[in-house]
Chains A and B, each alone.
Chain A
Amino acid sequence: MNATRRGFLKTTAGLVVGFYLPGRGEVAAQGTAVTTQRVNAWVRIGTDDSVTLMIHKSEMGQGTVTSLSQLLAEELECDWKKIRTEFPGIDPAFGLQGVFGSQSIRTGWGPLRNAGAQAREMLLQAAAQRWGIGKSLCRASDGVISNTANGEKLTFGKVADAASKLTPPTGLTLKNPGQYKLIGKSMKRLDTPDKVTGRTKFGIDVRVPGMVYAAIARCPVAGGKVASFDATKAKAIAGVRDAVQISNGIAVIADNTWAAFAGAKALEIKWDEGPNAAFNTPAIRKAFTEQTLLPGASARRQGNGAAALDTAGKKIDAVYEAPFLAHAPMEPLNCVAHVRPDGCDVWASTQMQTGISGIALQLTGLRPDQITIHTQYLGGGFGRRAGTDYAREAIELAKIVKVPVKVTWSREHDLQNGIYRPASVTRFAGGLDAEGWPLVLTANIACPPMGGSGSFGGGRGGGVDSTSVEGIADLRYAIPHMQVDYHSVTGGVPTTYWRAVGYTQNTFFGESFLDEMAVAGGKDPVDVRRRLLADVPRLLGVLNLAAEKAGWGKPLPAGHHQGIAVVNNIGSYTAQVAEVSVTGGKLKVHRVVCATDCGQVINPAIVEQQIRSAIVFGLSAALKGEITIDGGRVQQSNFHQYDVVRMDEAPAVEVHIVPSTEAPGGMGEAGVPTIAPAVCNAIFRATGKRIRRLPIQGQELA
């Protein structure tokens, strides 16, 4: 796994086929391959019959490695059991490398199958030449080429060297769905055996000879700086070697992680806290809410917009709120860096290899070919590891200490010095026509930008951060008049992507308010959605499937109530029905039925796993997730104050996948947005109480 790209290409006995995996923003239309001469991924068929896929994707739990291997093997016709994956050291010339927006399968779909087909055809050609027959008489299957004329056989490895002398063919016709042998099958995950024996190496597990351990005390207020510090007490701790100032705080160098943590805690630091110390949650909520009374930047105008409210028969309005959230991946952030006069190595579990390599270039002044980023397995990312702050500080520190250094974040550092899913407030108004159907919807959104300013992610146009309004501005409902306004606001803490980005809060807002409109019009929430989605067949399809499988409208166990929500994000379509009870003010989510249409499914078991995962993740936020600010400081320090859903609170999840041969949509984020509104819509049915602010915990449910 630490093999560098250069090493990989040098050791090549056998056949190597290079190809290009487009980055975010390069997938013009869904599934369209990008034509280019650039190469950033390789497949090698070794003379020992091994098949190695070398890709710049990260594995953070979504089964990416397995699914991408299935795409390759489908066309290559290799022996599935012989595929290995390596993450190359990265080269800045590759363009943006990273894993976010659930895009690995979407970008890999065309190129990986094509690379597999190219390699297969070259192997077939080499075998045909060896036998002196036409290529059409040769067949590849399970890593073996057969001569259909006389039954002779050669393994891939036997002709790999000869194949490497041939020119890769172009214009190949790929299999049609009816011919798939691996795509669509629940192949076992390739990464499981190492993950049940403790062998998988995550970033935090990296050990380099001569390595020292470090922890960093960062300012509790974002953007604050060290005014002065005294490390006497820290240095008195057994195992602490030194304390040094870097740009974002004081780093304690030690013989082990524990001593580094203890040393960082024992430092006496005077901070120059800066302007963000003025922020606190009540004032942030008030300021955001007031913003939504003013006209904002236009994110959507349709029909007569807000003016149509005057023509509506019945009008309702509501204000919705969501808090800041931390990502809290199980593996705390960490990074190992080694900076030498002639080179820089960085080991990180990261979603953002390109960003880190750029920072290394900038901080070290070395040449691109002297920098190697070693991607490790990620113990969860959820968007946090698309940041680069943890690598920047490690590289900066490594320059000072001159030996390899591992910086580990404590859970307290992770929660309190983080980059957060923004808090936001949205004010809605809705109007119904004479028959009670939705006629007009307006939304006024106040939300700190999620990072959609260009570094990675959606662009900004006309003052609108596209990721902060997604989920409302792109609602697919056929409501004749719509108006969406946006205000860029700040809460004094940095903000970024979080699994499912803007949809995490906006789908909760939008799908809850649509439910309110249905109730106001005396309509069934499924009927309203059916009518408004008549021209969006894939969304209508999952709506109907989820309603049917959940038994919508049918009798439920005593005290049980259902709520529904739908979303179209990352190229997938998802509907969820949540079944809840509220007894003595106590909420229980019993069951969630999820229907999803994510185009061509590569691995159904992985899709189902991702949906179950997304539901627990989204439910944790809906029920309990909240980061609050006081004096610019995050008040939650560890899981006792930032709790997540546990096994006894996890609902039974049923997943129904719509068969499809459309280009694959993303999966990692598809299941997150709808769980909060489905649960809250069910709570309304159970209690008559409308939840307009998350988390649910702490609110009266009577």
Chain B
Amino acid sequence: MATIRFTLNGKPQAVDVSPDLPLLWVLRDALGLTGTKFGCGMAICGACTVHVNGTAVRSCSMQAAAIADKNVVTIEGLSADGSHPVQKAWIEKDVPQCGYCQSGQIMGAAALLAKNARPSDADIDEVMKFYICRCGTYQDIRSAIHRAAELQANGGVK
């Protein structure tokens, strides 16, 4: 066991866990933040995506020790009230079906838009093809990312 200190959704956080426990399980089991999902455990599906120092990271494959002193943002902390442009666009386009993959999709899309404010279809595919949705919401995700880019340009990120 080790005490890991990091910033979680804007607040200081300390947690006593085994240093090799993947961040996904630190969040879900140790801290009870269940918005981040488990899909494969092998960095294949993207369901567990969170931001670590602003970069989209697969939390199933990052050990607790590696987040010491880092800034971690999960779906629960992306915005206070669902008002991030990506979340707004997702609501406008009614993207989710079962919804299980959507935390990861949204975190992935938000990281993409932070780097590339006006991605083309090809830019979107290049990043988002690494996020699996078994309900097949891909077409809706693509159009919602374009919409989020517009919202972001018109109002900035919260």
A interface residues with partner B (beta carbon < 8 Å): 59-63, 188-189, 191-202, 204-205, 207, 213, 238-239, 255-259, 261, 328-332, 377-382, 408, 410-411, 605, 609, 612-617, 638-640, 644-650, 652-653
Contact = CB atoms under 8 A, between A and B. Distances in A.
Given A256-B25, A648-B129, A331 B98 contact: yes
A630 to B, nearest CB: 21
Contacts of A380: 98, 100, 134-135
Contacts of A331: 37, 39, 98, 100
24 contacts: A61-B96, A63-B97, A188-B94, A189-B96, A191-B99, A192-B94, A239-B18, A256-B21, A330-B100, A330-B134, A332-B38, A378-B98, A609-B137, A612-B136, A612-B137, A612-B139, A613-B135, A614-B136, A639-B132, A640-B44, A646-B132, A646-B138, A647-B142, A653-B139
Contacts of B40: 411, 638-639
A330 B90 contact: no
A676 to B, nearest CB: 15
A589 to B, nearest CB: 13
B114 to A, nearest CB: 17
A196 B98 contact: no
Interface of B: 1, 18, 21-22, 24-25, 28-30, 32-42, 44-45, 47, 74-76, 78-79, 82, 87, 90-91, 94-103, 106, 124-126, 128-142
Contact of B102 (A195, A255, A645, A653): A195
Contacts of A62: 97
A193 B95 CA distance: 10
B139 to A, nearest CB: 6
A261 B40 CA distance: 12
Nearest to B139: A612
Given A258-B25, A647-B124, A196 B136 contact: no
A330 B39 contact: yes
Give chain A's interface secondary structure class: loop
B129 A647 contact: yes
B16 to A, nearest CB: 11
B133 A330 contact: yes
Contact of A61 (B97, B124, B126, B128): B97
A608 to B, nearest CB: 10
B38 to A, nearest CB: 7
Contacts of A255: 29
B132 A609 contact: no
A629 to B, nearest CB: 22
A435 to B, nearest CB: 42
Residue among B28, B33, B95, B134 facing the most chain A CB atoms (10 A cut-off): B134
A102 to B, nearest CB: 14
